[in-house]
């Protein structure tokens, strides 16, 4: 299945409503979600998740405004996806991740739904480009490609085949080169300095 970004932008709400699971919804994350989200991430990635190079771009920062999303089945948190402001060399962009769906809910299309919803919101918020470190077979159908990150490097080791980019605005990553750096607001600037929120990657 191949999605084209403009189609996602145009049709995401319709697409999201297609799954026929009316109790499952996407919402912006709140501090009350932190505990369940942390448990989900621990189960999905294990304790080594904080050693990931992408974490160097997230630690100490807040997610991009409106782009920390959770998926819930009634009140139970079953999915999470965040995006973060970064500088790709000199180009403002977002970093997507982590994405996780609770194991009991996988292979029902929920990961794609949550990703599509996040992309839709990123487009609507006027962002120009998105980077991620993840499995190409999962993200390429959304338009992510290694070719957009060839001039860029991350602040730590990474399997380069998993370092992917997506241009929301055509050409946004053309010529982007240099180090990718965190650009989000520092985490003490919101949520009343909540320690629970700060420890959430």
Ligand X SMILES: CC(C)(COP(=O)(O)OP(=O)(O)OC[C@H]1O[C@@H](n2cnc3c(N)ncnc32)[C@H](O)[C@@H]1OP(=O)(O)O)[C@@H](O)C(=O)NCCC(=O)NCCS
> Where do contacts with ligand X occur on this chain (CB under 6 A)?
44-45, 99-101, 106-112, 134-135, 137-138
- Which tokens sit at 83? 């995006």
- The nearest distance, CB 36 to ligand X, in angstroms, is 14
CA dist 166 to 31, 43, 94, 171, Å? 29, 28, 10, 10
Residues 6 or more apart from 154 whose CB is under 8 A from it? 53, 54, 56, 57, 133, 163, 179, 180
Specify which residues 182 forms β-bridges with: 86
- Which of 16, 190 has the CB closer to ligand X? 16
- Which of 38, 89 has the CB closer to ligand X? 38
Cβ pair 93, 173 in contact under 8 A: yes
Provide the CA 78 distance to its chain's centre, in angstroms. 15
- The nearest distance, CB 82 to ligand X, in angstroms, is 12
- Which of 118, 129 has the CB closer to ligand X? 118
Q: What is the dihedral of CA 178, 99, 61, 29, to 10 degrees?
A: 150
Residue number of the CB atom closest to ligand X: 111
- The nearest distance, CB 164 to ligand X, in angstroms, is 10
**How far is residue 157's CA from residue 28's CA, in Å, rounded to a whole number?**
31
- Which of 2, 171 has the CB closer to ligand X? 2
- The nearest distance, CB 98 to ligand X, in angstroms, is 6
- The nearest distance, CB 136 to ligand X, in angstroms, is 8
- Which of 74, 107 has the CB closer to ligand X? 107
């Amino acid at each position: 299945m191949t999605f084209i970004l403009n189609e996602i932008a145009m049709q995401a709400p319709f697409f999201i409503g297609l799954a026929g699971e009316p109790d499952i919804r996407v919402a912006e994350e709140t501090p009350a979600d932190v505990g369940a989200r942390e448990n989900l991430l621990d189960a999905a990635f294990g304790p080594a998740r904080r050693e990931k190079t992408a974490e160097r771009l997230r630690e100490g920062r807040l997610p991009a405004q409106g782009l920390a999303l959770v998926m819930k089945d009634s009140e139970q948190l079953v999915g999470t996806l965040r995006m973060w402001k970064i500088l790709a060399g000199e180009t403002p962009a977002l970093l997507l991740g982590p994405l996780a769906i609770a194991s009991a809910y996988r292979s029902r299309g929920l990961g794609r739904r949550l990703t599509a919803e996040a992309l839709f919101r990123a487009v609507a918020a006027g962002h120009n480009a998105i980077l991620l470190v993840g499995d190409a077979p999962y993200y390429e159908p959304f338009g992510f490609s290694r070719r957009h990150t060839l001039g860029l490097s991350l602040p730590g080791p990474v399997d380069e085949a998993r370092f992917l980019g997506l241009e929301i605005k055509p050409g946004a990553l053309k010529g982007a080169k240099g180090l990718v750096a965190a650009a989000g607001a520092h985490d003490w600037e919101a949520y009343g300095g909540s320690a629970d929120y700060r420890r959430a990657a």
